[in-house]
Protein backbone atom coordinates (compact mmCIF):
# COMPACT_ATOMS: atom_id res chain seq x y z
CA UNK A 1 0.00 0.00 0.00
CA UNK A 2 1.28 3.49 -0.79
CA UNK A 3 0.11 7.04 -1.19
CA UNK A 4 0.19 6.88 -5.00
CA UNK A 5 -2.24 3.98 -4.99
CA UNK A 6 -4.71 5.88 -2.81
CA UNK A 7 -4.41 8.90 -5.06
CA UNK A 8 -5.21 6.68 -8.05
CA UNK A 9 -8.23 5.28 -6.22
CA UNK A 10 -9.46 8.78 -5.46
CA UNK A 11 -8.89 10.05 -8.99
CA UNK A 12 -10.91 7.12 -10.33
CA UNK A 13 -13.81 7.81 -7.96
CA UNK A 14 -13.72 11.54 -8.81
CA UNK A 15 -13.75 10.81 -12.57
CA UNK A 16 -10.35 12.47 -13.10
CA UNK A 17 -8.77 9.66 -15.17
CA UNK A 18 -8.82 9.81 -18.95
CA UNK A 19 -10.32 6.93 -20.95
CA UNK A 20 -7.07 4.96 -21.30
CA UNK A 21 -6.17 5.41 -17.63
CA UNK A 22 -9.65 4.40 -16.56
CA UNK A 23 -9.66 1.28 -18.75
CA UNK A 24 -6.19 0.30 -17.54
CA UNK A 25 -7.19 0.73 -13.91
CA UNK A 26 -10.34 -1.35 -14.35
CA UNK A 27 -8.27 -4.05 -16.07
CA UNK A 28 -5.91 -4.10 -13.08
CA UNK A 29 -8.89 -4.46 -10.73
CA UNK A 30 -10.17 -7.46 -12.68
CA UNK A 31 -6.77 -9.16 -12.65
CA UNK A 32 -5.47 -8.27 -9.17
CA UNK A 33 -7.72 -9.45 -6.33
CA UNK A 34 -5.54 -7.76 -3.70
CA UNK A 35 -5.81 -4.41 -5.50
CA UNK A 36 -9.56 -4.88 -5.88
CA UNK A 37 -9.90 -5.61 -2.16
CA UNK A 38 -7.91 -2.49 -1.24
CA UNK A 39 -10.04 -0.43 -3.61
CA UNK A 40 -13.27 -1.66 -2.00
CA UNK A 41 -11.89 -0.78 1.43
CA UNK A 42 -10.91 2.65 0.19
CA UNK A 43 -14.39 3.27 -1.26
CA UNK A 44 -16.00 2.41 2.07
CA UNK A 45 -13.61 4.66 4.02
CA UNK A 46 -14.06 7.47 1.50
CA UNK A 47 -17.84 7.20 1.89
CA UNK A 48 -17.57 7.27 5.68
CA UNK A 49 -15.29 10.31 5.55
CA UNK A 50 -17.67 12.24 3.31
CA UNK A 51 -20.48 11.63 5.79
CA UNK A 52 -18.45 12.01 8.97
CA UNK A 53 -16.79 15.25 7.91
CA UNK A 54 -19.61 16.72 5.88
CA UNK A 55 -20.32 19.43 8.44
CA UNK A 56 -17.99 22.39 7.97
CA UNK A 57 -17.23 22.87 11.64
CA UNK A 58 -16.16 19.23 11.96
CA UNK A 59 -14.15 19.41 8.74
CA UNK A 60 -12.14 22.37 10.04
CA UNK A 61 -11.27 20.51 13.23
CA UNK A 62 -10.33 17.42 11.25
CA UNK A 63 -8.09 19.30 8.80
CA UNK A 64 -6.36 21.14 11.64
CA UNK A 65 -5.52 17.82 13.29
CA UNK A 66 -4.60 16.22 9.99
CA UNK A 67 -2.09 19.00 9.33
CA UNK A 68 -0.29 18.12 12.54
CA UNK A 69 -0.30 14.44 11.63
CA UNK A 70 0.89 15.14 8.10
CA UNK A 71 3.92 16.95 9.49
CA UNK A 72 4.86 13.84 11.43
CA UNK A 73 3.89 11.04 9.08
CA UNK A 74 4.14 12.55 5.61
CA UNK A 75 6.97 15.08 6.15
CA UNK A 76 4.87 17.95 4.85
CA UNK A 77 5.25 21.55 5.95
CA UNK A 78 2.10 23.27 7.17
CA UNK A 79 1.92 25.70 4.29
CA UNK A 80 2.25 22.86 1.81
CA UNK A 81 -0.43 20.77 3.49
CA UNK A 82 -2.82 23.71 3.49
CA UNK A 83 -2.36 24.17 -0.26
CA UNK A 84 -3.06 20.57 -1.21
CA UNK A 85 -6.17 19.64 -3.18
CA UNK A 86 -9.16 18.62 -1.00
CA UNK A 87 -8.90 15.00 -2.07
CA UNK A 88 -5.50 14.77 -0.38
CA UNK A 89 -7.16 15.03 3.01
CA UNK A 90 -9.37 12.04 2.16
CA UNK A 91 -6.35 10.11 0.90
CA UNK A 92 -4.21 10.96 3.94
CA UNK A 93 -7.06 10.20 6.31
CA UNK A 94 -7.61 6.86 4.59
CA UNK A 95 -3.96 5.97 5.08
CA UNK A 96 -4.15 7.00 8.73
CA UNK A 97 -7.26 4.91 9.29
CA UNK A 98 -5.88 1.93 7.39
CA UNK A 99 -2.75 1.90 9.57
CA UNK A 100 -4.57 2.72 12.79
CA UNK A 101 -2.63 5.94 13.43
CA UNK A 102 -5.22 7.58 15.63
CA UNK A 103 -2.96 10.09 17.38
CA UNK A 104 -5.40 13.01 17.36
CA UNK A 105 -8.36 13.71 19.60
CA UNK A 106 -11.38 13.90 17.29
CA UNK A 107 -14.68 14.23 19.09
CA UNK A 108 -17.38 11.87 17.89
CA UNK A 109 -20.79 13.46 17.80
CA UNK A 110 -24.08 11.54 17.96
CA UNK A 111 -26.00 10.91 14.78
CA UNK A 112 -29.48 12.29 14.12
CA UNK A 113 -30.65 9.00 12.60
CA UNK A 114 -29.87 7.14 15.82
CA UNK A 115 -32.53 9.18 17.61
CA UNK A 116 -34.94 9.90 14.78
CA UNK A 117 -37.90 7.63 15.51
CA UNK A 118 -41.13 9.55 14.81
CA UNK A 119 -44.18 8.08 16.50
CA UNK A 120 -47.03 6.88 14.30
CA UNK A 121 -49.98 9.18 13.67
CA UNK A 122 -53.56 8.13 14.43
CA UNK A 123 -55.84 11.10 13.84
CA UNK A 124 -59.30 11.47 15.35
CA UNK A 125 -59.78 15.16 14.60
CA UNK A 126 -63.23 16.61 13.97
CA UNK A 127 -64.29 19.17 11.42
CA UNK A 128 -61.99 17.74 8.77
CA UNK A 129 -62.71 15.22 6.04
CA UNK A 130 -61.94 11.74 7.29
CA UNK A 131 -60.48 10.85 3.89
CA UNK A 132 -58.01 13.75 4.01
CA UNK A 133 -56.97 12.86 7.55
CA UNK A 134 -56.39 9.29 6.43
CA UNK A 135 -54.20 10.49 3.57
CA UNK A 136 -52.08 12.56 5.95
CA UNK A 137 -51.87 9.68 8.40
CA UNK A 138 -50.92 7.07 5.80
CA UNK A 139 -48.29 9.26 4.14
CA UNK A 140 -46.75 10.27 7.46
CA UNK A 141 -46.61 6.71 8.77
CA UNK A 142 -45.24 5.57 5.42
CA UNK A 143 -42.44 8.16 5.73
CA UNK A 144 -43.66 9.96 2.60
CA UNK A 145 -43.15 13.31 4.26
CA UNK A 146 -42.96 15.43 1.12
CA UNK A 147 -46.41 14.13 0.18
CA UNK A 148 -47.79 14.51 3.71
CA UNK A 149 -46.74 18.16 4.11
CA UNK A 150 -49.22 19.77 1.65
CA UNK A 151 -51.99 17.57 3.06
CA UNK A 152 -51.21 18.81 6.58
CA UNK A 153 -51.24 22.38 5.27
CA UNK A 154 -54.69 21.78 3.81
CA UNK A 155 -55.97 20.35 7.11
CA UNK A 156 -54.52 23.22 9.14
CA UNK A 157 -56.68 25.70 7.22
CA UNK A 158 -59.72 24.03 8.77
CA UNK A 159 -58.32 22.64 12.01
CA UNK A 160 -55.33 24.29 13.65
CA UNK A 161 -55.01 21.72 16.42
CA UNK A 162 -51.75 21.03 18.29
CA UNK A 163 -51.87 17.43 17.11
CA UNK A 164 -51.89 18.36 13.42
CA UNK A 165 -49.30 21.10 13.93
CA UNK A 166 -47.00 18.66 15.72
CA UNK A 167 -47.03 16.01 13.00
CA UNK A 168 -46.76 18.71 10.35
CA UNK A 169 -43.63 20.07 12.07
CA UNK A 170 -42.12 16.59 12.38
CA UNK A 171 -42.66 16.12 8.63
CA UNK A 172 -40.92 19.43 7.94
CA UNK A 173 -37.97 18.36 10.08
CA UNK A 174 -37.63 15.11 8.15
CA UNK A 175 -37.16 17.01 4.87
CA UNK A 176 -34.76 19.59 6.37
CA UNK A 177 -37.16 22.53 6.45
CA UNK A 178 -35.72 23.60 9.77
CA UNK A 179 -36.98 27.17 10.09
CA UNK A 180 -40.65 26.30 9.58
CA UNK A 181 -40.39 23.18 11.73
CA UNK A 182 -38.69 24.99 14.61
CA UNK A 183 -41.21 27.83 14.51
CA UNK A 184 -44.01 25.35 15.12
CA UNK A 185 -42.11 23.38 17.76
CA UNK A 186 -41.48 26.62 19.66
CA UNK A 187 -45.21 27.44 19.54
CA UNK A 188 -46.03 24.03 20.97
CA UNK A 189 -43.25 24.35 23.54
CA UNK A 190 -44.79 27.61 24.77
CA UNK A 191 -48.17 25.94 25.27
CA UNK A 192 -49.42 23.37 27.75
CA UNK A 193 -50.62 20.58 25.51
CA UNK A 194 -49.42 16.97 25.57
CA UNK A 195 -47.04 17.97 22.77
CA UNK A 196 -45.04 20.44 24.88
CA UNK A 197 -42.17 18.09 25.83
CA UNK A 198 -42.33 16.26 22.51
CA UNK A 199 -41.86 19.60 20.78
CA UNK A 200 -38.76 20.28 22.89
CA UNK A 201 -37.33 16.89 22.00
CA UNK A 202 -37.87 17.44 18.29
CA UNK A 203 -36.46 20.94 18.54
CA UNK A 204 -33.33 19.39 20.04
CA UNK A 205 -33.25 16.84 17.22
CA UNK A 206 -33.46 19.66 14.69
CA UNK A 207 -30.36 21.23 16.20
CA UNK A 208 -28.64 17.84 16.25
CA UNK A 209 -29.41 17.28 12.58
CA UNK A 210 -27.87 20.67 11.73
CA UNK A 211 -24.75 19.99 13.79
CA UNK A 212 -25.62 22.68 16.35
CA UNK A 213 -24.56 20.54 19.28
CA UNK A 214 -24.41 23.20 21.99
CA UNK A 215 -27.91 24.41 21.14
CA UNK A 216 -29.12 20.81 21.11
CA UNK A 217 -27.66 20.20 24.55
CA UNK A 218 -29.19 23.39 25.97
CA UNK A 219 -32.66 22.37 24.80
CA UNK A 220 -32.31 18.83 26.12
CA UNK A 221 -31.55 20.20 29.57
CA UNK A 222 -34.99 21.89 29.64
CA UNK A 223 -36.96 18.71 29.00
CA UNK A 224 -38.92 17.42 31.98
CA UNK A 225 -37.92 14.10 33.50
CA UNK A 226 -41.59 13.16 33.18
CA UNK A 227 -41.20 13.08 29.41
CA UNK A 228 -42.12 9.57 28.26
CA UNK A 229 -38.87 9.04 26.35
CA UNK A 230 -36.58 10.69 28.87
CA UNK A 231 -34.16 7.76 28.57
CA UNK A 232 -33.35 9.01 25.06
CA UNK A 233 -32.82 12.50 26.41
CA UNK A 234 -30.32 11.23 28.99
CA UNK A 235 -28.50 9.09 26.43
CA UNK A 236 -28.17 11.94 23.95
CA UNK A 237 -26.98 14.30 26.67
CA UNK A 238 -24.36 11.75 27.67
CA UNK A 239 -23.12 11.47 24.09
CA UNK A 240 -22.90 15.24 23.80
CA UNK A 241 -20.73 15.56 26.92
| Structural domains in the chain plus CATH codes | 3-99 (no CATH), 114-240 (1.25.40.10)
Are the beta carbons of 151 and 172 closer than 8 angstroms? no
**What pLDDT, on a 0 to 100 scale, did the predictor assign at position 125?**
72
Whether 198 and 117 have beta carbons less than 8 Å apart is answered as: no
Length in residues, the chain: 241
What are the φ and ψ backbone dihedral angles of 112, each rounded to 5 degrees?
Answer: -55, -45
Spatial distance between the Cα atoms of 151 and 174, rounded to a whole number of angstroms: 15
Alpha-carbon gap, residue 206 to 179, rounded angstroms: 9
What pLDDT sits at residue 34? 80
Q: What is the pLDDT at residue 208?
A: 94
Query: What is the per-residue pLDDT for 11?
Result: 83
Q: What is residue 150's predicted lDDT score, i.e. its pLDDT?
A: 96
> How far, in Å, CA of 95 to CA of 45, rounded?
10
Helix (H, G, I), strand (E, B) or coil at 93: helix
Ranges of the chain whose pLDDT falls below 70: 1-3, 45-108, 127
Amino acid sequence: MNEERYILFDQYLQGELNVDEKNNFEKQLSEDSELASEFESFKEIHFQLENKFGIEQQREVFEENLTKISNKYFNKKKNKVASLKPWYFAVAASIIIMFGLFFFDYKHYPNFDDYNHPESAYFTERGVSEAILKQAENNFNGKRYETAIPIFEMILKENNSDEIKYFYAVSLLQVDKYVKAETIFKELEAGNSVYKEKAKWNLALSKLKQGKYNECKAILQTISQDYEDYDDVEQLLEELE
